[in-house]
Amino acid sequence: MAKSSYHHGALESALIDAALVLIEEEGVDGFSLAAASRRAGVSVAAPYRHFANRRELLNAVAQRGFAELGERLRAVRADGGDEVGLLLEQGLAYVRFAVEKPALFRVVFDSRGRDPQSTVGPAALAVLGETLGRLEAAGRLRVSLDTAMRLCWATVHGVAMLTIDGMRTFAEEDSETLRRHILSPMLAGGVVRP
């Protein structure tokens, strides 16, 4: 980030942006508060107004990622208000988030070097739980709500990780259509009754 892109009053956001760029380039272990300061075009002392250390900055990056993931999941709509279709679309949105922002996705779901996100993390994933809860209320779940949540999350997270980690069978042929074909049977046969 160029020095001229920082505006007074936006230091916290500029540092989070800088940390994300560094994480994209070097991985989570490849950034420091000092490097984020330089990238944001501020003195190495400036971040301490907002972050006591690298861990707090990494916490802020994770919070931003969880918030964005939650927004994306809430923004999903399904044709005709079909809850099964909505759940599938939310799963696809989860994978899209990972593919579009792999560095941010990795920070969100890897707690090394940061604190657990006890409120914003569960709030993002609760969007899936709400959809599953409506399916449970309608008597459409084949398994308990807790099991359904874990199964759905594990499935979409697995597809996301295999894709962004470049596993050939996923990454080489990756398309929205392929993702839909992978996730649909999990819903139709495993979690949801017809």
pLDDT for the residue numbered 171: 64
Mean pLDDT, rounded, for 101-111: 92
Same-domain pairing of 32 and 107: no
Q: List pLDDT tens digits, range 137-149.
A: 999 999 999 999 9
Same domain, 26 and 117: no
Structural domain boundaries enclosing 42: 3-52
DSSP the chain: --GGG--TT-HHHHHHHHHHHHHHHH-GGG--HHHHHHHHTS-TTGGGGT-SSHHHHHHHHHHHHHHHHHHHHHH---GGG-HHHHHHHHHHHHHHHHHH-HHHHHHHH--TTS---TTHHHHHHHHHHHHHHHHHHTT-BSS-HHHHHHHHHHHHHHHHHHHHTT-HHHHTT--HHHHHHHHHHIIIIIIB--
Q: Is there a domain that residue 57 lies in?
A: no
pLDDT in tens, 41-71: 898 888 888 899 999 999 999 999 999 999 9
Q: Are 116 and 34 in the same domain? A: no
